[in-house]
Structure 1
Amino acid sequence: MNFLDSLAISSTGLSAQRLRMNLISSNMANVNTTRTETGEPYKRKDAIFEAVQSGDFKAVLDEHLGEGGGGVKVARVIEDDKPFVEKYDPGHPDADEKGYIRLPNVNIVEEMVNMISASRSFEANATAIRATKDMTAIALEIGKTT
């Protein structure tokens, strides 16, 4: 594994966590959205990550020897199947005949915990990129002095 491989792997982590944070932000922004284009409340979205596998023989061999890997990617974005939250609000325009409205299946506390997790993962990948950059600079300095 070389320095560029390390940067590439960390950059995939940055991209994946950025998309995850965007989804979490969307979930939090739509916590009170009772009607979407489909006519039902907003459904919580989540990212499913998948390891990136390289197709060439050397990459597969290196991976099995513990040298390398390909990073991570977002395999798909899913909608949460949890039931909607029902709340009694007879004055709301979306209330049914019994006076209940259906709210999104978004738990704001859970979203905040997910945001902290995604933020820390993003920071860890950024730190790995900085460390790789610093090691590269030091290696270049060592090369100059010899």
Structure 2
Amino acid sequence: MNFSDTIGISAAGMQVQSKRLQVAAENIANAETTGTSPGSDAYRRKTITFKEMLDRSTGVSTVAVRDIGEDQSDFEMRYDPSHPAADTKGMVKMPNVDTMTEILDTHEAQHSYEANLNTMQITRSMLTRTINLMK
């Protein structure tokens, strides 16, 4: 494995963690977004999954986003007969977003992003030292 492979692997890791942060931020931003008409669905939490990618020419494995899907768990029902999305019983479908879970996910993504960034910086430093030795 050479330096450019290492940097490419770290860059791929940073890219997917950035997308993970984006998905979690969208979920947090919509944690209270309900439907607008009686009985309509609320915002449905988004999920992200990753996949391993193999570069056959170099034999290097990296990571990529496999899919951004939707969490199919049930909506929480809240009694609010004055809400525009309330059904005939006064129940409103609330988003299936747990803000604490999303915050924890953002912290984990941040740490993974930073680990990839550190790896990239160390690789760059090693490459610079190697070049300096050759002078």
The TM-score with structure 2 as length reference comes to 0.93
Match of 1:48 in 2: 49
Match of 2:21 in 1: 21
Q: Secondary structure at the match of 1:35?
A: coil
Mark the runs of 5 or more structure 1 residues left unpaired by the alignment.
60-68
Letter in 2 for 1:2: N
Letter in 1 for 2:80: D
- Structure 2 CA distance for aligned equivalents of residues 46 and 136 of structure 1: 37
TM alignment of 1:110-125, pairs within 5 A? 110-125=101-116
> Following TM superposition, by how much is the alpha carbon of 1:12 offset from its aligned partner in structure 2, in angstroms?
0.4
- Of the three residues 56, 59, 74, the one matched with 2:65 is 74
> Following TM superposition, by how much is the alpha carbon of 1:118 offset from its aligned partner in structure 2, in angstroms?
0.5
Mark the runs of 5 or more structure 2 residues left unpaired by the alignment.
none
Q: Secondary structure at the match of 2:64?
A: strand
Q: Which runs of 4 or more aligned residues in structure 1 lie more than 2 Å from their structure 2 counterparts after TM superposition?
A: none
Identity %: 34
> Following TM superposition, by how much is the alpha carbon of 1:46 offset from its aligned partner in structure 2, in angstroms?
1.3
Letter in 1 for 2:46: K
TM alignment of 1:124-143, pairs within 5 A? 124-143=115-134
Letter in 2 for 1:105: N
- The CA RMSD over aligned residues, in Å, is 1.3
What do the CA deviations read for 1:61-93 (whole angstroms, capped 9, x no partner)?
xxxxxxxx3210001111111111111111111
The TM-score with structure 1 as length reference comes to 0.86
Letter in 2 for 1:41: A
- Structure 2 CA distance for aligned equivalents of residues 21 and 108 of structure 1: 13
| Count, aligned residues | 132
- Structure 2 CA distance for aligned equivalents of residues 35 and 21 of structure 1: 25
- Structure 2 CA distance for aligned equivalents of residues 46 and 23 of structure 1: 7
